[in-house]
A and B are shown apart, each in its own frame.
Chain A
Amino acid sequence: DVKVTQSSRYLVKRTGEKVFLECVQDMDHENMFWYRQDPGLGLRLIYFSYDVKMKEKGDIPEGYSVSREKKERFSLILESASTNQTSMYLCASSRDRVTQGTQYFGPGTRLLVL
């Protein structure tokens, strides 16, 4: 079974803090994704990565950056957290472009910015 883990289930930060959300997958997947999930808005894609050191903007990249130094790890960074970034953050991975694989999701990190 594919396993996608996220470093924290719950996180409370203050406005202006730098926040790191970590995601690790154990199935040697090429692709990794970060979404935020908000009630009534579904999942919105923040950033994704097709390969190590590669990144692509999703629909709502403003206020976020990402890092993929190793294939199994994809980090989401909030440079200066703001209250409107309070949300549930979901990481996902999928196999590769050729197989157009299903995305497998982690348990999510619920972030509260005060």
Chain B
Amino acid sequence: AQSVSQHNHHVILSEAASLELGCNYSYGGTVNLFWYVQYPGQHLQLLLKYFSGDPLVKGIKGFEAEFIKSKFSFNLRKPSVQWSDTAEYFCAVMRYNNNDMRFGAGTRLTVKP
């Protein structure tokens, strides 16, 4: 079974610091990759996704992620975080031509003003 690992459970940063959240998956075939975000009290919403093409994907609110196939990784980055980025971030993997998605355990990000 495929699994998704997120390396950090809780990350605390000051505003303007750079962010990188790690995500690795175990499935060896073609995959679609996602980052979702859950702001306090809100729905899970899509931040960005990778299906094919350029492995550097840009999402909403200045986030980006890079797919490195050889490392089975899809790390999320943001050059300068804001207090409003405080949220929980989930990496998710879907096998190609399948529709059941597997999520990582999540990383809680706290940005101090």
Contacts and interface: CB of A to CB of B under 8 A. Distances in A.
A103 B96 CA distance: 14
B32 interface: yes
B34 to A, nearest CB: 7
29 contacts: A31-B99, A33-B100, A42-B4, A42-B103, A42-B104, A42-B105, A43-B92, A44-B103, A45-B101, A48-B99, A48-B100, A50-B99, A58-B100, A97-B97, A97-B98, A97-B99, A100-B94, A100-B96, A100-B98, A101-B99, A102-B34, A102-B46, A103-B101, A105-B36, A105-B43, A105-B45, A107-B42, A107-B43, A108-B43
Chain A interface category by residue count: 20 to 34
Interface residues of B, number: 28
Contacts of B46: 102
A90 interface: yes
B99 A43 contact: no
Given A33-B100, A42-B90, 15 more contacts: A40-B9, A40-B105, A41-B105, A43-B90, A43-B92, A43-B103, A59-B102, A100-B32, A100-B97, A102-B46, A105-B44, A106-B43, A107-B42, A107-B43, A108-B43
Pick the 8 closest A-B CB pairs, nearest first: A43-B103, A42-B105, A105-B44, A42-B103, A42-B106, A31-B99, A105-B43, A102-B46
Interface of A: 31, 33, 35, 40-45, 48, 50, 56, 58-59, 90, 92, 94, 96-97, 100-103, 105-108
B83 interface: no
Contacts of A100: 32, 51, 94, 96-99
A16 B36 CA distance: 34
Contacts of B1: 59
B59 to A, nearest CB: 12
Contacts of B49: 102
